[in-house]
């Protein structure tokens, strides 16, 4: 048997399907540690500032002390955040900054997310 030429419309549908599959594959490769809402907020805030205090992050994200502590600790344990604790006139002050590894992971996350968005919009 010989092969018939594929209808252009069928070819477009096949390309659309392949594009959707590729977008889905990129989406599932997103860093799940970063993808959680609070952790994404922490990294986003720190990407634009050299360092932020615990209170600044808590207030910017609108989360509780406990919630911020848990999520910041996960990012710190992964090596994405650096935490510095000090005292300012006997008042404890905790500051966070993105580590080199955290900055690279965040940049990679954004690149992958942008790729998914581009593919989804332009199909």
At residue 120 the predicted structure's pLDDT band, cuts being 50, 70 and 90, is confident
Residues 6 or more apart whose Cβ sits within 8 Å of residue 47: 98, 103, 106
Domains contained in the chain, number = 1
Domain that holds residue 71: 8-122
Q: pLDDT digit string (tens) for 60-102?
A: 999 999 999 999 999 999 999 999 999 988 888 999 999 999 9
Asked whether residue 72 is domain-assigned, the answer is yes
The whole-number pLDDT of residue 88 equals 86
Asked whether residue 38 is domain-assigned, the answer is yes
Asked whether residue 26 is domain-assigned, the answer is yes
Q: How far apart are CA 89 and CA 92, in angstroms?
A: 8
Task: Name the more confident of 16 and 42.
Answer: 42
Asked whether residue 1 is domain-assigned, the answer is no
Residue 96, domain CATH: 1.10.10.10
Q: Is the dihedral angle over the CA atoms 67, 73, 78, 80 positive or is it negative? A: positive
Q: Is the dihedral angle over the CA atoms 57, 63, 69, 73 positive or is it negative? A: negative
């Amino acid at each position: 048997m010989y092969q018939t030429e594929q209808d252009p419309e069928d070819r477009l549908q096949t390309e659309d399907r392949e594009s959707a599959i590729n977008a889905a594959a990129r989406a599932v490769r997103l860093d799940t540690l970063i993808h959680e809402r609070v952790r994404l907020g922490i990294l986003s805030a720190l990407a634009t500032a050299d360092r932020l205090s615990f209170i600044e992050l808590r207030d910017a994200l609108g989360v509780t002390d406990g919630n911020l502590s848990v999520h910041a600790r996960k990012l710190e344990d992964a090596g994405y955040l650096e935490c510095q604790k000090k005292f300012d006139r006997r008042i404890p002050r905790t500051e966070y900054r993105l580590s080199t590894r955290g900055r690279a992971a965040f940049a990679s996350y954004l690149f992958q997310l942008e790729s998914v968005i581009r593919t989804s919009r332009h199909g």
